Amino acid sequence: MAKQYGRWRNVGSLGEGGQAHVYLVEDSSGKDAGPFVLKRLRREGRLALFQQEIETTRSIEHPNIIRIVDFDLNAEKPYFVAEYCERGSLADIGAETFQGDVKAAARLLLPIVDALEAAHRTGVFHRDVKPPNILVRRNGEPVLADFGICHVESGAKVTLAINEPAGSLNYIAPEMESGRRLGPPCAETDGYSLAKVLYWMLSGGNIFAREDHRARSLVETLSEQRFEHVHSLLDLLMVEDPKKRISFTKLPGLMKKMEVLVNGNFAPLKPSIGIECRFCGLGRYQRIAGGNAGSISKIGIAQMAGRDTRALRCDHCGHLELFDFLDMKDNWWEN
């Protein structure tokens, strides 16, 4: 006979997480149609965290936050019941689906960014953004789940065990690591982890320690220099000191801009020196004149008074790219 939890009948196991068993269940009363997911606490010492997960998830109103439909904390084995996302988690779908596809990655992650912003406005920071915690509904809509170790500002302090890091080591922000004194959780804590998810998706499943995303450059992995625009965004999000990261509120705009730059195959200016020639595609641009490369006049161009003209030249076909650096804020030429 199938195990029963209140009105919920167990119809199959979906595995287990760090603090709970997960089952596929049906409503035996007929009140709610369709399969649901029941998460049952398996470690008694985690009841406070389990309760926080339920209360926090139910308190955030957003279409891309997992929907909890029932719970019982007084049961012999406390549980809650949530919507069933038929396509599984982002980890189940696999990074290979998104490799090199910035448009598909942005389409999936932007609703998650919006969901996180909704949580942040209520003083909730997720702290465990990773592929297994991003679920996908049957219609392709992404859902943010598992607020089990979230941080709630001005709420009761529900803590982990001593020296236990908050979050997955592959996606965790430095300030969440045991013993690090970089400040409390903040919106940018989730931004750091989301940046690692983006890299994981576009790289086809690569992971790395800390902030070293350039050690396995997408430009080299995917053999296309346009993916430098992705690294430029990661440079802003994946910073050790949370105070020096770009504000999370700017992330939607930056992700959309990144998508446009990558898909438009615009030349990345940082680093611009050494990128493939946009004319022949065979050579690479080198400094030829201006700045620390000598006078612009040596290539037959007169420097107008008060200007700062510089030039790159392809070392294969000789194609010239001219730039006027007067009043430029980003001096990528020296980088």
The CATH architecture of the domain made up of 90-263 is Orthogonal Bundle (1.10)
Burial 291-303 (b: 16+ CB within 10 A, else e): bebeebeeeeeee
Please check whether the two domains, 4-83 and 90-263, share a CATH topology: no
Q: What are phi and psi of 234, to 5 degrees?
A: -60, -35
* Tally of residues, the chain: 335
HEC string for 40-106: EECCHHHHHHHHHHHHHHHHCCCCCECCEEEEECCCCCCEEEEECCCCCEHHHHCHHHHCCCHHHHH
Domain locations in the chain?
Answer: 4-83, 90-263, 285-334
The model carries a pTM of: 0.88
pLDDT string in tens for the chain (335-residue length): 568 999 999 999 988 766 788 999 999 988 888 899 999 998 777 898 899 999 999 999 999 999 999 999 999 999 999 999 999 999 999 999 999 999 999 999 999 999 999 999 999 999 999 999 999 999 999 999 999 888 887 655 444 443 444 557 789 999 988 667 788 899 999 999 999 999 999 999 999 888 889 999 999 899 888 999 999 999 999 999 999 999 999 999 999 999 999 999 898 876 567 788 888 989 999 988 887 777 888 888 887 777 888 899 999 999 999 888 888 877 787 76
Superfamily of segment(s) 4-83: Phosphorylase Kinase; domain 1 (3.30.200.20)
The answer to whether 187 and 248 are in contact (CB under 8 A) is yes
